[in-house]
Structure 1
């Protein structure tokens, strides 16, 4: 890794996954686990494994990520799920192009291993939304997944308002409007630890589609 970064990990009842996730954190990276109302011991497990813990009582992916980015101090921040589906050992794939100035925002394009680790309903919803983004907004992306990196000050300056599942899409759209160079790199996507509570469920996927579709209607 080319420089120090902060890694924001939104967290809702991920005590079982956190030890493995945090053990893969590369040198030069600091984990900021944002406890988004967990009822298990996620916060204490995160601290025991060396992470900084931030509490965000307002539920929602966007609310948790915004709290983590606001608490970060590194020039570059990365965002990643805390459920074990991503390998932080691959983090430099998304952070190094930002650190070196090649891109302003880098998105991790998921390669599911095995294929079944990305549920069909979630995979289809992602493909549908990414296609709409390409055709309606002219932004060449193929995956709106959560593993991504950007410079902290620039990210805060985008003024993102969505605090739910529309946050990842709003970030890409706002970055494109500001003329950011947006890149994609392949990252491994594995079965999460435990049962999915949000986007891995049919209900959560439906909420994400509704949030992101609203943003597309409003902003494009």
Structure 2
């Protein structure tokens, strides 16, 4: 088999309800890298049955799983995508085209009917994007759950956050390194199951704290 053009890193914690849908939509030329972060619902078995590349990450945290996948990937380009069925991973190929046209980092901007995302999460995302724009100057309106960049370039950024601040740290460090960062519109769907972040007000607040800590550093 030819080596993948794009590795799609899928941080996974108990996503058995969504994982089959996601893996069925991995586009030709790409490879799914499922990073198990302690699932107990059979997610690992489902991923292996679908011939995905599966690794474990003992350190809990979204950033820890993302970074473990980045280290395990081998393709020139890497996407990081939530595996809750809110985003079709096939859209990563559109973002890859943006990189090939000259960008250094493509970040999803979620486009969806009102009601798809809880109000508290929508408000938090708008505020977060405003703060990231002010900090970095990057013209971002959203930091969505799908990002694409060159793997070695991401490793060179020295990303250190292992919690929910990982996406923001990616953007901040990329901006500080002089990268061209662009938002790419992607369709956003109601996720399968309850979100571990935006599913509760408490989870959203904790995520905002993690991301705020990154901006403050």
CA distance in 1, matches of 2:204, 2:72: 28
CA distance in 1, matches of 2:199, 2:51: 27
CA distance in 2, matches of 1:9, 1:92: 15
Deviation at 1:148, TM superposition (A): 0.8
- TM-score normalised by structure 2 residue count: 0.95
Is residue 109 of structure 2 the alignment partner of residue 109 of structure 1?
Answer: yes
CA distance in 2, matches of 1:111, 1:7: 21
* Aligned match of 1:207: 206
Deviation at 1:140, TM superposition (A): 1.6
Deviation per CA, 1:60-96: give whole Å up to 9, x if none. 1100000001000000000100000001232212122
CA distance in 2, matches of 1:174, 1:38: 30
CA distance in 2, matches of 1:175, 1:136: 12
CA distance in 1, matches of 2:103, 2:89: 20
CA distance in 2, matches of 1:24, 1:198: 24
Question: 1:1-220, aligned counterparts within 5 Å?
Answer: 4-98=5-99, 100-112=100-112, 114-218=113-217
Deviation at 1:187, TM superposition (A): 0.2
Contact 2:37-2:61 within 8 A present in 1 as well: yes
18-27 vs 199-208, which deviates more? 199-208
Deviation at 1:197, TM superposition (A): 2.0
CA distance in 1, matches of 2:135, 2:194: 34
CA distance in 1, matches of 2:159, 2:89: 25
Deviation at 1:203, TM superposition (A): 1.5
Contact 2:118-2:198 within 8 A present in 1 as well: no
Deviation at 1:133, TM superposition (A): 1.5
SS, match of residue 108 in structure 1: strand
Calculate the aligned-residue CA RMSD, in Å: 1.2
17-26 vs 87-96, which deviates more? 87-96
Contact 2:104-2:150 within 8 A present in 1 as well: yes
Deviation per CA, 1:16-52: give whole Å up to 9, x if none. 1111111011100000010111111001101111211
203-212 vs 23-32, which deviates more? 203-212
Contact 2:13-2:39 within 8 A present in 1 as well: yes
Gaps of 5+ in 2: none
Deviation at 1:101, TM superposition (A): 4.3
